[in-house]
Amino acid sequence: MNTVILIGASTGGPRALQTVLRGMPPLDASIVLVQHMPEYISGPFRNTLAGLTEMQVVIATDRMGLEPGTVYIAPGGIHLTLEGNTQLRLVQGPKVCFVRPSIDVAMKSLQQKPGSRIIGVILTGMGQDGAEGITHIKKAGGITIAQDEKSSTIYGMPRAAVQTGSVDHVLPLERVQSKLIGLAGVLLKPRSGG
């Protein structure tokens, strides 16, 4: 089963994503992060997250294939899409919901495919980027999660997602990691030797 977890965040997102990834074991899934941020923040942000989790953390590049147990960060200033739920593409284009990369653009590129499972998560942020994307993921048979109001720095994006009626689970931030582990499972490392 190819599982893709796409997490979108904006204001308050870096701290929220640190909470979600802190101590995260390698999941049997690929995690794609779309955090609204300028391009020059991408490298330091990657370094911070890489120190928190056993998962490999990389900045997405064009035509990079998805691997389980890996976190991919959308670079600032360019849209990220997924081709066939298995390959990342970086695409130029106008801002969507006043931002680039846009969570909606990334989420709406995911497809319902046999042997593929998609999970969409909207964390804290201003505006409504991700609401259309969450609706798309739900219609495609995916599982959808939004951060609750109490634990959000700004409840704009999670609220917009919840108001679509397409969110399966509204969770406090500290419960998002355990939910993702429960949905995706932990990547079993092959035993060395015989």
**Rounded distance, CA 160 to CA 86, Å?**
28
Question: Residues 54, 24: contact at Cβ < 8 Å?
Answer: yes
Residue 193 pLDDT class (50, 70, 90 cuts): very low
Give CATH superfamily name and number for 2-184.
Methylesterase CheB, C-terminal domain (3.40.50.180)
Q: What is the pLDDT of residues 29-60, one digit of tens each?
A: 999 999 999 988 999 999 999 999 999 999 99
The closest alpha carbon to 53, from 109, 5, 101, belongs to 5
E strand or H helix at 104? helix 103-108
What was the pLDDT predicted at 190?
55
Of residues 116, 129, 151, 166, which has the active-site annotation? Answer: 129
Q: Which residues contact 127 (CB under 8 A, 6 or more apart)?
A: 10, 97, 98, 99, 156, 157, 160
pLDDT tens digits, residue range 79-136? 999 999 999 999 999 999 999 999 999 999 999 999 899 999 999 999 999 999 999 9
State yes or no: is 168 an active-site residue: no
36 flagged as catalytic: yes
Is the bond into 44 cis (omega within 30 degrees of 0)?
no
Which residue among 10, 102, 116, 151 is the active-site one? 10
Let me know if 10 is a catalytic residue: yes
In the set 30, 36, 42, 109, the catalytic residue is 36
